[in-house]
Amino acid sequence: MKIVVCVKQIPDPADPGSLDPDTKTLKRDVKLIIDESDSYGVEMALQLVDAAGGGSVHLVSMVPNREVSGLRTALAMGADSATLISDEALAGSDALTTAKVLARAIERAEPDLVLAATESTDGYTGVVPAQVAELLGLPSVTFAKEVAVSGGTATVRRQTEAGYDLVECPLPALVSVTAGVVEPRYPSFRGIMAAKKKPVDQLGIADLGLEPGQVGWAGGGQEIVDVAAAPARESGEIVTDEGDAHERVVAFLDELKVL
């Protein structure tokens, strides 16, 4: 079984990021790391290949600056190979463009299953996986908590507001995985050493049959017109107990419709 995992490499969320006032986008000239959301997809892929008794895990990532350290983390966890798409023309790509690029790279790998996270940590539009599925004509199953594969069929427990759906679909398919559903393994010392020797195929957009006008700022279907600071958090309401505090708290929660 061959599984492709989409791995986004993002600035370390622990370091305070900043916006580029010219492009109104996040500055990404820093060292990038694997988006933690994608570490669940990597772990799940490794477990599925184990369960299937063989196969391979291939990573696909698009970044502005040829960064591979996030991919190396996933390779050190046990993934077998990776494709990195990096091209100056990609700067400013929106979600759909990202999906188009990823879709072409994924297609080349001819996977049985594609895994992505439901949303990234830095962009969190949550649309890329569905777009990739649509572009590749694959069934798309979102919000997966559990995935099992047997005999050309994926069985997925899908998180819903009320509980979960049990979904079956034929392979190949694209499944997006929610955070926390598996425990991503720590890369081992041997894994890190081995990762250095694993193949990372570096591609530009021309290799994928795309032209500069189709991607980046030029190809974008959206424009960021303004960036504004989030409104400051309002100070909370303090309930002083004069014997009726419990009633007032209940009334407050009622108003929020959380009861």
Ligand X SMILES: Cc1cc2nc3c(=O)[nH]c(=O)nc-3n(C[C@H](O)[C@H](O)[C@H](O)COP(=O)(O)OP(=O)(O)OC[C@H]3O[C@@H](n4cnc5c(N)ncnc54)[C@H](O)[C@@H]3O)c2cc1C
Q: Which residues bind ligand X (CB under 6 A)?
A: 6-8, 25-26, 28, 35, 37-38, 61-62, 64, 93-95, 98, 102, 116-117, 119-120, 123-129
Task: Spell out, one character per residue from 196 to 215, where the chain touches another protein: x when CB under 8 A holds, - when not.
Answer: x-------------------
Minimum CB distance to ligand X, residue 7 (Å): 6
Give per-residue burial for 138-148: e unless 16+ CB within 10 Å, then b.
Answer: bbbbbbbbebe
Pairing mode, if any, of strands 81-86 and 56-63?
Answer: parallel
User: Coil, strand or helix: which one is 18?
Assistant: coil
Is 190 near another protein (CB under 8 A)?
Answer: yes
Report the site for another protein in 23-82 (rule: CB under 8 A): 69, 72-73, 76
| Dist CA 3 CA 147 (whole Å) | 13
Pairing mode, if any, of strands 200-203 and 81-86?
Answer: parallel
Stretch (H or E) spanning 63: strand 56-63
Residues 203 and 83 sit within 8 Å (Cβ to Cβ): yes
From the list another protein, ligand X, none, which binds 140 (C-beta under 5 to 8 Å, kind-based)? none
Q: Which stretch binds another protein (CB under 8 A): 20-28, 41-49, 190-198, 236-244?
A: 190-198
From the list ligand X, another protein, none, which binds 130 (C-beta under 5 to 8 Å, kind-based)? none
Q: At what angle do helices 128-136 and 95-109 cross, to 10 degrees?
A: 50
Out of 193, 239, 245, 249, the only residue in the binding site for another protein (CB under 8 A) is: 193
Q: Which chain residues interact with another protein by CB under 8 A?
A: 14, 69, 72-73, 76, 186-190, 192-193, 195-196
